[in-house]
Amino acid sequence: MHVDTAITSRKSVRRFLDAPVDRATVMHILQIASRAPSGSNIQPWRVHVVAGAAKEQLCQRLLDAVDHGKSDPPEYHYYPQNWFEPYLERRRRCGFGLYATLGIGREDRAKREAQARRNFHFFDAPVGLFITMDRRLETGSFMDCGMFIQSIMLAARGQGLHTCPQAAFAWYHTLIRDALKLDEDSLLLCGIALGYEDPQAPENGFITERESVENFTTFHGT
């Protein structure tokens, strides 16, 4: 797959087929992604792969925590504490667009919560990845891990697979740290669902829009 095609075909898939992904394929994807750049080549990322019975048990614990409102205060702020434009409008268009694709009305809180709950089963993907880094590192390592995460998603496309990056897990870091036996210096950044897209699922037909290059680029000189 040409890199342009991998980038433009990548999307957040929110329903996966019940088709297995073998360990060799996961290892291949991570080997390719390990070539992601990092400052002074410190490679700050750590990956924790869950599949099979281990994934099912963890997901059930997560869903129980969600259902009982047992979330954690976040260890980092993914979004701004006070939204402002143009970011607020872009966020709203994304959320409203997804729910409209699923036929969920803006006031239908029960169905919106049910859809959000599906995060914690990795949207039925057979493989889940958790990305962590040492909390003693600085902001540059967040950028490094972001490039690594993107590399995972593009390498997955090269294998005919799809992904969904999921920051939602960060609100359940205590439970996940316990289940994966992570040390206290491990900062949970996100999860990634990995598997084969269900092409019949309406939510997978929702493609977010992008700003034009002219809107976000300023040339200085030639």
Q: What is the CATH number of the domain that holds 171?
A: 3.40.109.10
> What parts of the chain have a pLDDT lower than 50?
none
Whether residue 37 lies inside any domain: the answer is: yes
Whether residue 185 lies inside any domain: the answer is: yes
Among 128, 205, 196, smallest CA distance to 156 is for: 196
The confidence score (pLDDT) of residue 30 equals 98
What is the pTM for the complete model shown? 0.95
- Residue pair 164/125 in contact (Cβ under 8 Å)? The answer is yes
pLDDT, one tens digit per residue, over 43-96 is 999 999 999 999 999 999 999 999 999 999 989 999 999 999 999 999 999 999
Domain that holds residue 193: 3-78+120-206
Separation in Å, CA 115 to CA 40, 60, 109: 41, 16, 10
The confidence score (pLDDT) of residue 69 equals 94
The confidence score (pLDDT) of residue 222 equals 75
Whether residue 199 lies inside any domain: the answer is: yes
The confidence score (pLDDT) of residue 135 equals 97
What's the total number of domains in the chain? 1
Integer Cα distance of 208 and 90 in angstroms: 10
The confidence score (pLDDT) of residue 20 equals 97
